[in-house]
Chain A
């Protein structure tokens, strides 16, 4: 591409001049994502898992809470039980579908909440710097000092069980890392000249934050948040496994794993099923976030 000649300042606006193809930022992201088959496959997989959880009542062949003493711990494919039965004779497939509802909720809702709250704190800390930054980031560091599982156990232990408390716990645990990512990204953007140029036009801080800062901070934060979905699911499962999350007989992947633990020598394959569900879901989320990171990175 050569520069237009400077001397011809009055460029004749000829009608036949070619118009550049308009492609928005997200259009560009989609163009790059289109040929990334691994990511597309994982996105499809996640959609499938989400849909199966949403439509669990219609898809499940049995009542997930109906136990049967006669059919305890049946192997995979036994009669009409596609995935066998658990230690109380409940259908594994039905429980898996219902359990996905709780587990996905635990994976997604805390991450969204933490992204909004942590992102806000991070952007404010990064943009204002100095004392505001000190105050916010040192507070986050206090949370960072604890291993995330330990922190989750501590908060969950003091709040008590239940779905709401578990989500609250996970949100608190996930805020500091997201805040740190947002803060780093913001303080990098903040020192760029285009922020100064925007200030020189007399723009308000809110306007600069929304037009110039947020749009540049969004992609690293979103990508990082998507990796946290799998972490959140695993943490939630861990809490349920320890008895700090949802309580039995609620179907939840972590809880199922926990209760089937004793049966691992009787029916190893059936016991592994909830674990496989957690594994597949978290790997899918991780691969999608990897693909998103590549697609959203446009610093050419």
Chain B
């Protein structure tokens, strides 16, 4: 795979696992798509499709944290599972450190599995209730061919690394741990295969605030120590701002805005992002959020609105929004510093009254 012309921040240090060089993004997602069929009737025919992830493209630079935000049901978790190959994609490509994944040429799935790991949201169901946590962590290395003694030693070392005393916890069962401890075990298990990119799917959302802060600090430390790259999926905008370098905003299976964290939070371009940010609770009791900026549920992804998918809830909706879908622009060719939004109000000459004037050549 050829290198893409982008200018990422210089990677901190050379990594021996690096194949594509520091400028090559860790992961390039190109036009990925997943429609879930809805079957009905006697013959179980497909009557409709849920467009869970609809033509999403982005890349993750080595060593950065990419935050992914959006409402519940916008396809964040489906996207995570697609990246992990836990569900098959309908269309699109994944390029891991310069190599196409899962096709005849390029890295085999096994290589992806070692480089990409995931921390699940639900710490209760993500650990086998019948296995001591040491065995849960050691399972991955064992699968990849390590002897059970080596795998166990590795599991114990990882437990210490995530702040769990191995000789106190190794033999315990998941129901004997608190939520925060379980999430640490989950992180240790994800790290057991020495991955380069960690997908954190709502990894701290179920924890109380003090434990959440501990786990976030742990993640920051691990990232520095192990030279990791994160995709951090969350609905908590404060947490995403704290941990992310860049943010990607999703709405109904599509990317509506992507850019560096400060640009997104200081100057959101897309009305959806603006509304999301307005929903954040303030520390100041004088600044209460009295009315919800976004009313109602998102539209049905089975039958998404025509044109811009946000037009049904957008305060700036005009005729052009109903007929023409705004494009985000070529994300894969843009720089990591670029701030892109899929809104007619941003694109010159789109026909929206608030759009900037077209630049005449």
- The CA of A192 and the CA of B221, in the complex, are separated in Å by 29
- The CA of A6 and the CA of B139, in the complex, are separated in Å by 25
Contact B163 A200 (CB under 8 A): no
The interface bits of chain B over 128-148 (1 if a CB of A lies within 8 angstroms of the residue's CB, else 0) are 111100001001100110000
The interface bits of chain A over 15-34 (1 if a CB of B lies within 8 angstroms of the residue's CB, else 0) are 00111111101000000000
The interface bits of chain B over 297-339 (1 if a CB of A lies within 8 angstroms of the residue's CB, else 0) are 0000000000000000000000000000000000000000000
Contact A3 B175 (CB under 8 A): no
- The CA of A6 and the CA of B187, in the complex, are separated in Å by 13
Q: Does A5 contact B (CB under 8 A)?
A: yes
Q: Which residues in chain B, 157-216, are within 8 Å of chain A measured between CB atoms? A: 160-161, 163-173, 175-178, 180-181, 184, 186, 189-190, 192-193, 211, 213-215
Look across to chain B and name the residue whose beta carbon is closest to the beta carbon of A18.
Answer: B168
Q: Assess A6 versus B218: contact at CB under 8 Å? Given A197-B189, A200-B118, A299-B175.
A: yes
Contact B214 A201 (CB under 8 A): no
Look across to chain B and name the residue whose beta carbon is closest to the beta carbon of A134.
Answer: B44
Q: Does B126 contact A (CB under 8 A)?
A: yes
The interface bits of chain A over 44-85 (1 if a CB of B lies within 8 angstroms of the residue's CB, else 0) are 000000000000000000000000000000000000000000
Contacting residue for A202 out of B127, B143, B178, B181, CB 8 A: B143
Interface residues on A, range: 35 or more
Contact B86 A9 (CB under 8 A): no
Q: Assess A5 versus B214: contact at CB under 8 Å? Given A216-B129, A298-B129.
A: yes
Contact B167 A19 (CB under 8 A): yes
A170 to chain B, nearest CB (A): 30
Contacting residue for A196 out of B86, B110, B217, CB 8 A: B86
Contact A202 B168 (CB under 8 A): no
Interface centre among B86, B117, B144 (most CB of A within 10 A): B86
Look across to chain B and name the residue whose beta carbon is closest to the beta carbon of A191.
Answer: B125
Contacting residue for B178 out of A1, A11, A200, A216, CB 8 A: A1
Contact A6 B217 (CB under 8 A): yes
Contacting residue for B167 out of A7, A17, A196, CB 8 A: A17
Contact A199 B86 (CB under 8 A): yes
A184 to chain B, nearest CB (A): 17
Look across to chain B and name the residue whose beta carbon is closest to the beta carbon of A214.
Answer: B130
Contact A200 B117 (CB under 8 A): yes
- The CA of A10 and the CA of B221, in the complex, are separated in Å by 11
Contact B214 A3 (CB under 8 A): yes
B178 to chain A: which residues have CB within 8 Å?
A: 1, 3
B110 to chain A: which residues have CB within 8 Å?
A: 202
Contact A4 B164 (CB under 8 A): yes
- The CA of A197 and the CA of B86, in the complex, are separated in Å by 9
Q: Which residues in chain A, 94-129, are within 8 Å of chain B measured between CB atoms? A: none
Q: Does A249 contact B (CB under 8 A)?
A: no
- The CA of A201 and the CA of B181, in the complex, are separated in Å by 21
Contact A200 B181 (CB under 8 A): no
- The CA of A20 and the CA of B85, in the complex, are separated in Å by 37
Q: Assess A201 versus B164: contact at CB under 8 Å? Given A193-B120, A211-B139, A300-B176.
A: no
Q: Assess A6 versus B125: contact at CB under 8 Å? Given A1-B178, A300-B176.
A: no
Interface centre among B126, B128, B139, B190 (most CB of A within 10 A): B128
Contact A201 B211 (CB under 8 A): no
Look across to chain B and name the residue whose beta carbon is closest to the beta carbon of A300.
Answer: B175
Q: Assess A194 versus B136: contact at CB under 8 Å? Given A9-B161, A25-B130, A201-B143.
A: yes
Interface centre among A7, A192, A202, A204 (most CB of B within 10 A): A202
A10 to chain B: which residues have CB within 8 Å?
A: 160
Number of chain B residues close to chain A: CB under 8 A: 59
A201 to chain B: which residues have CB within 8 Å?
A: 113, 117, 139-140, 143-144, 192-193
Contact B165 A17 (CB under 8 A): yes
Q: Does B277 contact A (CB under 8 A)?
A: no
Q: Does B84 contact A (CB under 8 A)?
A: yes
Q: Does A207 contact B (CB under 8 A)?
A: yes
- The CA of A299 and the CA of B128, in the complex, are separated in Å by 11
A11 to chain B: which residues have CB within 8 Å?
A: 160, 163, 165
Q: Does A198 contact B (CB under 8 A)?
A: yes
Contacting residue for B175 out of A196, A202, A207, A298, CB 8 A: A298
Contact B171 A23 (CB under 8 A): yes
A129 to chain B, nearest CB (A): 13
Q: Assess A202 versus B109: contact at CB under 8 Å? Given A20-B170, A196-B81.
A: yes
Contact A4 B131 (CB under 8 A): no
Contacting residue for A9 out of B143, B163, B192, CB 8 A: B163
- The CA of A3 and the CA of B144, in the complex, are separated in Å by 30
A267 to chain B, nearest CB (A): 53
Contact B173 A298 (CB under 8 A): yes
Q: Does A212 contact B (CB under 8 A)?
A: yes
Q: Does A203 contact B (CB under 8 A)?
A: yes
Given contacts A201-B113, A202-B113, 19 further A-B contacts (CB under 8 A): A3-B163, A3-B184, A6-B213, A7-B217, A7-B221, A9-B221, A11-B163, A20-B171, A194-B136, A200-B85, A201-B117, A201-B140, A201-B192, A202-B143, A203-B139, A203-B140, A204-B143, A212-B128, A300-B175
Between A and B, 23 residue pairs with Cβ closer than 8 Å are A3-B163, A3-B181, A6-B213, A6-B214, A6-B215, A6-B217, A6-B218, A7-B217, A9-B163, A13-B160, A17-B168, A20-B172, A21-B171, A193-B126, A194-B127, A194-B128, A196-B86, A200-B116, A201-B139, A202-B144, A203-B140, A216-B129, A300-B175
Per CB-CB distance, the 4 closest pairs between chain A and chain B, nearest first, are A193-B126, A201-B140, A6-B214, A202-B113
